[in-house]
Structure 1
């Protein structure tokens, strides 16, 4: 199961970062693999909210349904599922000076025949982890300007 994890600093405080990242529709702006992310329900974003996400990674398009499974003042857990994979994105946010320290972890579990892609997936997801850290930092820092 490939896992990538990055810890980095951003300018906005946790009370800005957590609600922004809990709304997974914003992934279109900060996740370099996401091409489209549309909410399936209405109302305030809360545990149980879900999104249809279309991503393209290493030239391969995939669709997952993401559900917000945990939301606290310092932790967001979003789980995306389809027949071939489960992607668990855990985002931990702590105060760091006037801004935030973010630890972003993505655990990817392949199912069935897709398990054969796991070794290659690790290489691809390491690069994607670097790209996500860069883009997420830029987008979040842009929220306070």
Structure 2
């Protein structure tokens, strides 16, 4: 079962600045409400780059290895994996007036014992999505 959380925000920051900032997943510590640390472990920031991401979720510390799978003119796809979950994140950035519109879609697939409680996590993931959207807008508007 896949749980999807999607949010769209508008920001005063221009798209040409926003996509490179978000594509460098190390910056998730600034804009993602759950991320505690994120370090690049290999690659140059392009497709194939790997990141070690540590997040706090539902009172637990969660570590995923993310890989940049696509990097286009208006989007980045980054996929995080560990033994219990896969997070398939698509970030799309489009010009909007003098700023930009950012859509962040995260699709979570849980495995093992976690899959049994996956549906119970949906409200927590939705709340995290709300917090992240607000934080993302604030951080981008200040850039």
TM class, shorter-chain normalised?
over 0.9
In 2, the alpha carbon distance for the partners of 1:117 and 1:87 equals: 16
Cα RMSD of the aligned pairs, angstroms, is 0.9
Q: Which position in structure 1 is the counterpart of 2:98?
A: 98
Query: Superposition pairs for residues 49-128 of structure 1, below 5 Å?
Result: 49-128=49-128
1:121 is displaced (CA, Å) by 1.3
CA–CA distance in 2 between the matches of 1:135 and 1:93?
16
Superposed, which structure 2 residues align to 1:23-62 within 5 Å? Answer: 23-43=24-44, 45-62=45-62
CA-to-aligned-CA distance 1:17-59 (integer Å, 9 cap, x gap): 000000000001111111110110253x100111000111110
Q: Deviations for 1:89-127, whole angstroms, at most 9, x for unmatched residues?
A: 111111101110111111100011110121111110100
Number of aligned residues:
142
Which structure 2 segments of 5+ residues have no match? none
TM-score by length of 2: 0.96
Moved over 3 A (4+): none
Aligned partners of 1:15 and 1:73 also within 8 Å: no
- For 1:68-100, what per-residue CA distance to the aligned partner results, in whole angstroms no more than 9, with x for missing partners? 111111111110001100001111111101110
Aligned-partner SS, 1:40: strand
